[in-house]
Amino acid sequence: MTEKRKAIVLVVLLGIAAIVWMFVWNKQSNDSQQVFALDGKLLAVENPQVRWDELKRAQQTEYRTNGRNPFSMIKPPTQQEARSQQALVAAAAPKPFVGPRPLPPPLPPPKAELPANLKFFGYGTVPAGSPRRAFFTDGDEVYIVPEGDVLLGRFRILKVGNTNIEFQEISTGQRGSAPLEEAAAATPNA
């Protein structure tokens, strides 16, 4: 395209834009005048003052529902349907228990405990693959008992762990556990 043709196209487009702009401008000015006048007549306002009595009456209006949800398309049940639904709910309700109440379940037996003077202070193993052995002290007496054996004729050693020992009292069958107690460090005589 030559420069001359480009200039002609530009002038034509500017002319079309000017015509469209004037058409829109005139239409907007006419629309703004129609807002205030209908068919050439001004809108009639009887009394421009605030009507306090009507405003107060509107504020004191209380909403009363008829049971219908305005946001639901489902029709509310009639009174007869509501009564039949209440009767069904009442029939399905659990009946009160008549008769003696069952006894509550018995409390679990207390856990077995080692005598207070008996302390679990360590464990060891023999390299031949034998079970672990627990070390107990009763004052000056020391007892070495392997897993599965009986301690003092009352307690069967079930498992010797790294931090605790599990045992069973033979007479009652109750199980218990005892923690590994650290030996008190000997205090130097000063």
The confidence score (pLDDT) of residue 16 equals 94
More reliable by pLDDT, 145 or 183: 145
Domain count, the chain: 2
What is the rounded average pLDDT of the residues 44-55? 79
Q: Report yes or no on 54 lying in a domain.
A: no
Place of tokens 């907007």: 28
Q: Report yes or no on 162 lying in a domain.
A: yes
Biggest distance spanned by C-alpha atoms of the chain: 123
H or E segment and range at residue 86:
helix 79-92
Beta bridge partners of 175: 168
pLDDT tens profile 66-114: 777 788 888 877 888 888 888 888 888 887 777 788 888 888 877 888 8
Q: Report yes or no on 64 lying in a domain.
A: no
Q: Report yes or no on 47 lying in a domain.
A: no
Q: Report yes or no on 23 lying in a domain.
A: yes
Neighbours of 30 (CB within 10 A): 9
CA angle 6, 8, 10 (to 5 degrees): 70
Name the 3-class secondary structure at 110. Answer: coil
Q: How confident is the model at residue 186 (pLDDT cuts 50, 70, 90)?
A: very low
* Residue 85 · residue 138 · CB < 8 Å: no
Q: Report yes or no on 188 lying in a domain.
A: no
pLDDT tens profile 132-182: 888 888 888 888 888 888 888 889 999 888 888 999 888 888 888 888 887
Domain that holds residue 9: 3-34
Strand 150-151: give its sheet, edge to edge: 150-151, 155-160, 164-169, 175-179
Q: Report yes or no on 102 lying in a domain.
A: no
More reliable by pLDDT, 184 or 55: 55
First to last CA, the chain: 114
Q: Report yes or no on 30 lying in a domain.
A: yes
Name the 3-class secondary structure at 188. Answer: coil
Nearest Cα to Cα of residue 136 among 77, 184, 179:
179
In whole angstroms, what is the distance from residue 49 CA to residue 61 CA?
Answer: 22
Amino acid (1-letter code) at residue 19: I
DSSP E strand stretches across the chain: 37-38, 41-42, 118-124, 133-138, 141-146, 150-151, 155-160, 164-169, 175-179
